[in-house]
Amino acid sequence: MKITIFGVGLIGGSLALCFKGKPGITVVGHSIFPEEVQKYIDRHVVDIATTSMEEAASDADFIFLCVPVGKLASYLQQLSQMTLKEGCIITDVGSTKASIAACAKQTDLQNVTFIGGHPMAGSERSGVEAASSILFENAYYVLTPEENVSEEAYTRLADLLQHTRAQIVRVDPKQHDDIVGAISHLPHLIAVALVNQVRQYNENNTLYQSLAAGGFRDITRIANSDPYIWRDILLNNKDVLLKLLQDWNGQVESFIDILKREDGEGIVQEFSQAGAFRSQLPERRKGMITSLYDVYINVPDTPGIIGRIATELGNHELNLSNLQIIESREDVPGVLRLSFRNEKDWDRAQQLLPTLGFTAYV
């Protein structure tokens, strides 16, 4: 079986690592940049790498398009001009599905099948350097086949994706975009708008930036996302987002009314309803927005204390991804933030820190 991956970055590289080394599978990676191709080989992410699109696609059983959403149509069009293996399945990993489904319908893909896909997992790091064979474990992997897709083709792709250890979910493309628009795209827009609002205030008073170092920085971290990737995502899901933004404006107007009327009970009700719903959300399932693996502790201002903590974590083979002293601690339960790359180290740190005399908050 030949699996071809166009765009061997975080997602494409992680898929490659899930498939590579499995019996009977050859993984081919493609990039138009020779230096990227060499990187794929040097890092042992794929079996074969090439700058030739024709070579990569030739005789492939599965083709994964892991390129930015804005480039998917171009890749589909180029593939339609090639002679692909009969029965080949083409899929993508974009976070919008209706637009690429419509594009696939309009593209003359002969003797092959297109099935949209969206692995709902990611990382705050990017590029093939961040690829991991466990990126998709326990995450939802959404497949969005059109009605004309055969069950045999769908099953073949779903079976292959078992190597990712993700939970496969079958969803209509339009329904996917409605849901993901609400739980991912809209929050990103709101975070960007909120940060830009504070940025404007900060132009006249730099205390805004200084005092925003704690909780504000945490709750708006998704505003620090790749602007070009999000340009493509938002434009591809424009119609859904325009409706969501209208609904959001309704929520804002509701709060304006509550505050004007000084309706304390209304505020309590809004917070209570939100808290009740949020408490039902699964805490540890991988989703669209990258999970935080942060532990907060209070430490005294004494020489060597931070070095001691870092040393103890290292002695127990716990890998810190970041360490930050927080000056503005409103809504943040500690003076020192310890960040970990994975849930396993995060859990172990919570067990270790109390033995060192620190109360750990998450």
Kindly give the pairing relationship between strand 167-170 and strand 336-340.
unpaired
Report pTM. Answer: 0.79
Q: Using 50, 70 and 90 to split pLDDT, how confident is the model at 329?
A: very low
pLDDT at residue 138 greater than cutoff 70 = yes
Task: Indicate the CATH number of 176-279 among 1.10.3660.10, 2.40.50.180, 1.10.20.10, 3.10.290.10.
Answer: 1.10.3660.10
Average pLDDT on 247-260 reads 97
**What pLDDT sits at residue 125?**
66
Assess contact for 197 and 165: CB atoms under 8 A.
no
Q: Using 50, 70 and 90 to split pLDDT, how confident is the model at 285?
A: low
Q: What is the C-alpha radius of gyration for the chain, rounded to an integer number of angstroms? A: 23
**Which residues of the chain form CATH 3.30.70?**
294-355
**What pLDDT sits at residue 336?**
81
The residue type at 99: S
Q: Comparing 77-91, 122-136, 148-162, 219-233, which segment has the lowest mean pLDDT?
A: 122-136
- Nearest by Cα to 336 from 214, 217, 221: 214
Kindly give the pairing relationship between strand 140-144 and strand 113-119.
antiparallel
Q: Between these two residues, 245 and 321, which has the higher pLDDT value?
A: 245
**Which residues of the chain form CATH 3.40.50.720?**
2-171
% the chain with pLDDT above 90: 63
Structure-token pair, residue 343 = 């849930």
pLDDT at residue 283 greater than cutoff 70 = no
Per the listing, tokens 């029965």 go with: 87
Which DSSP letter does residue 128 get? G
**In Å, how far are 268, 278, 293 from 275, measured between CA atoms?**
10, 5, 21
pLDDT at residue 45 greater than cutoff 70 = yes
**What pLDDT sits at residue 286?**
56
Average pLDDT on 240-246 reads 97
Paired strand residues for 170: 143
Average pLDDT on 65-83 reads 94
pLDDT at residue 332 greater than cutoff 70 = no
For 43, other C-beta atoms within 10 Å of its C-beta total 15
**In Å, how far are 147, 251, 275, 277, 280 from 266, measured between CA atoms?**
45, 13, 14, 17, 22
CATH class of 294-355: alpha beta
- Nearest by Cα to 100 from 129, 71, 59: 71
Structure-token pair, residue 179 = 């849901």
For 320, other C-beta atoms within 10 Å of its C-beta total 16
Q: Between these two residues, 294 and 51, which has the higher pLDDT value?
A: 51
Assess contact for 175 and 144: CB atoms under 8 A.
no
Q: Using 50, 70 and 90 to split pLDDT, how confident is the model at 333?
A: low
Assess contact for 297 and 336: CB atoms under 8 A.
yes
Q: Using 50, 70 and 90 to split pLDDT, how confident is the model at 248?
A: very high
Segments of 244-301 assigned E as strands: 294-297
pLDDT at residue 118 greater than cutoff 90 = yes
- CATH architecture designation of domain 2-171: 3-Layer(aba) Sandwich (3.40)
Per the listing, tokens 């009740």 go with: 276
For 307, other C-beta atoms within 10 Å of its C-beta total 9
d(CA 99, CA 46): 29
Average pLDDT, the chain: 89
Q: Using 50, 70 and 90 to split pLDDT, how confident is the model at 92?
A: very high
Assess contact for 30 and 53: CB atoms under 8 A.
yes
Average pLDDT on 43-50 reads 96
Supply the DSSP string of 204-241, one letter for each residue. Answer: T-THHHHHTTTHHHHHTGGGSS-HHHHHHHHHHTHHHH
pLDDT at residue 330 greater than cutoff 50 = no
First to last CA, the chain: 45
For 318, other C-beta atoms within 10 Å of its C-beta total 18
The residue type at 239: D
Average pLDDT on 201-215 reads 87
Q: Please count the helices (runs of H) and the strands (runs of E) in the chain.
A: 15, 11
